[in-house]
Structure 1
Amino acid sequence: MKKALVVDDSKAIRQIERKYLEELGFFVLEAENGEEALKVLKENSDITLILLDWHMPVMNGYEFLKKVRENPEWSEIKIMMVTTENQQKSVIDAIMAGANEYLMKPFDKEMLETKIQYLFEGF
């Protein structure tokens, strides 16, 4: 079973993303900011997908993304920014920092599933 980490400061968004991911066959872990997500990641070496919000307290998604990509052990993890941040520069910054995909809020299950299929080709 694939394991995913949902990182968002909104409990409601985490619950929605968890539901969709579980319906797609993922075991789901959660974190409410980047700092907490780093701890979860260190304890779970088998995470294959991270859904990551941009705007969060303590450590935002962009800072978390850069820290994950600095660690070669985590290079295979697929990271999808899931955010309301829609400035073209922000999208480019996230992709350049190592995000594999970008999904705008609000979204539905089909949109998320399509992006995941693209990330894992043949999921």
Structure 2
Amino acid sequence: MAKKVLTVDDSTSIRQMVAFTLKSAGYEVVEAADGNAGVAQAKNQQVDLILTDQNMPGMDGLTLIRTVRALPQYKSTPILMLTTESSDAMKQSGRAVGATGWLVKPFDPQKLLEVVRKVIG
């Protein structure tokens, strides 16, 4: 059974690139256009990994991580930030709320796959 990845980003083109990259490698992909939709998707179905942007309308990535980590089924699920934010302070904030890792946009599809395989196989 394919591992399921939730990708949350307000950029349609980024979601499409992430989905294409992951689907090509055999992963099932669920998409959400913002943090609120991402939390709703996570509650509706169990996913193996969450990839989220930081800067989104409605609910940002850090808030999404904090919200999802509060759900018992996501206490130990890997959550990766995929964002243009690269400051050490922002990365530290991400770790503080429970981010597993950090990838900076624009992303290299091969690097994305390497990281995804490392955290969920």
Q: CA deviation at 1:117?
A: 2.4
SS at match of 1:106: coil
Q: CA deviation at 1:39?
A: 0.9
Q: CA deviation at 1:119?
A: 1.2
Question: Aligned runs of 1:3-18 on 2, under 5 Å?
Answer: 3-18=4-19
TM-score (norm: length of structure 1):
0.93
Aligned twin of 1:48: 48
Range that drifts further, 70-79 or 52-61 = 70-79
Aligned twin of 2:116: 116
Q: CA deviation at 1:81?
A: 0.1
Question: Aligned runs of 1:25-36 on 2, under 5 Å?
Answer: 25-36=26-37
Aligned twin of 1:2: 3
Unaligned runs of 5+ in 1: none
- Alignment: residue pair count: 120
Question: Aligned runs of 1:78-97 on 2, under 5 Å?
Answer: 78-97=78-97
For residues 21-53 of structure 1, the C-alpha deviation after alignment (integer angstroms, 9 at most, x for no partner) is: 1012111111011111111111102x0011100
Q: Which runs of 4+ in 1 moved over 3 A?
A: none
Q: CA deviation at 1:108?
A: 1.3
Contact 1:52 1:81 in 2 (8 A): yes
For residues 57-76 of structure 1, the C-alpha deviation after alignment (integer angstroms, 9 at most, x for no partner) is: 01111100101111222113
CA RMSD of aligned residues (A): 1.0
SS at match of 2:85: coil
The residue type equivalent to 1:60 in the other structure is D
Unaligned runs of 5+ in 2: none
Aligned twin of 1:68: 68
Range that drifts further, 91-100 or 68-77 = 68-77
